[in-house]
Amino acid sequence: MTDAAPLDGPAAPPASGGPARRLILLLHGYGADGTDLIALAPVLAPLFPDAAFHAPHAPEPCEVMPFGRQWFSFTRHDPEMWRRDAANLEPALEMMTEGAASAAPSLNATIDSLMSRYGVGPASTALVGFSQGTMMALHVAVRRPAPLAAVVGFSGALTGAARLADEITARPPVTLVHGEADPVVPFPALAHAEAALRAAGVPVAAHGRPGLEHGIDEAGLEIAAAALEAAFAAADVQ
C-alpha cells in the first residue's frame, strides 16, 4: 500500500502461546513512545489471548521532549490555539491535517507489514490510540482500502474533518473515550469527532468520563475492551 518503512517498537505475543489470530496496534501520544502504551497489552491480553500486540514508536523525535517521539509537530500549529477559545478547535485541527497525513504512510506500512507477518486480515486488526495516537488512528483507519475491525481512541481528536467526505474509503466501528476535565486535548474535541464521523457514515460511540483529565481510567479500559470484543465477534460471524 505504501513504500514507507514500517515502524519498530515493543510487542507482546499472544498470551495463549499459539499463533496470532488477532492484531492490536497501540498508538502512543505526543512525547511518549511505544513503551508507554505496550503497558495495555497485559491488561487486554486475558480478554484477547490470541492477539499479538504491537506499540510502534512514532516516526519523529519529539521536538520538546528529548527522549520521546511524535507522529507530527504540534509546535508549528500553535497547540495553545484550541485551548484559548473553543471556537478555535476546528481551525486548529484543520491545521494539523497535513501533519497527520505526513505520518500516515509509515503507520500504514506498519499495519500492512504486521498483518502480513501474522497472516491476519483487516477484520482481525484493531487500532487503539491515545491523544496524538488517536489522531493518527482516526486519520488512517478511514482512508484504508478496507475497514479494520475497530478503532478505539482515548483523549484524542479528528483532524481533516473538512476533507473526510472526499477522502473516506473505509468505515470501521469507532469508539471514543475522553476525559471531561482534559486540560491537554479539549473535551469538545469528542463531540467534534463524533459529529464528523457520523456525517461520513462511520459508526461511532462516544463516551465522556466525568472528572478525568488527560489519561485512561479503568472505566475507559472497560469500554475499550467491550468495543474490541464486539468488533472481533462481529468479524467472526461474517
Structural domains of the chain, ranges and CATH numbers in brackets: 11-236 (3.40.50.1820)
Determine the pLDDT at residue 107: 98
Determine the pLDDT at residue 91: 81
Nearest one of 81, 76, 73 to 99, comparing CA atoms? 73
Determine the pLDDT at residue 77: 56
Determine the pLDDT at residue 58: 98
C-alpha span between 50 and 119 (Å, rounded)? 13
Residues with Cβ < 8 Å from 160, sequence gap 6 or more?
A: 93, 94, 97, 100, 101, 139, 167
Place of cell 461474517: 238
Determine the pLDDT at residue 74: 79
Q: Which residue type, as a one-letter code, is found at position 85?
A: D
Contact (Cβ atoms closer than 8 angstroms) between residue 164 and residue 61:
no
- The active-site residue out of 36, 131, 139, 155 is 131
C-alpha span between 37 and 33 (Å, rounded)? 8
Specify whether 182 is catalytic.
Answer: yes
Specify whether 28 is catalytic.
Answer: no
- The active-site residue out of 33, 36, 112, 182 is 182
Helices (H), 5-84: 34-37, 41-44, 81-84
pLDDT in tens, the chain (238 residues): 457 899 999 999 999 999 999 999 999 999 999 999 999 999 999 999 999 999 999 999 998 888 899 999 876 655 566 665 666 788 888 888 999 999 999 999 999 999 999 999 999 999 999 999 999 999 999 999 999 999 999 999 999 999 999 999 999 999 999 999 998 899 999 999 999 999 999 999 999 999 999 999 999 999 999 999 999 998 766 5
- The active-site residue out of 102, 113, 214, 217 is 214
Specify whether 54 is catalytic.
Answer: no
Determine the pLDDT at residue 95: 84
C-alpha span between 218 and 187 (Å, rounded)? 18
Determine the pLDDT at residue 83: 61
C-alpha span between 238 and 232 (Å, rounded)? 10
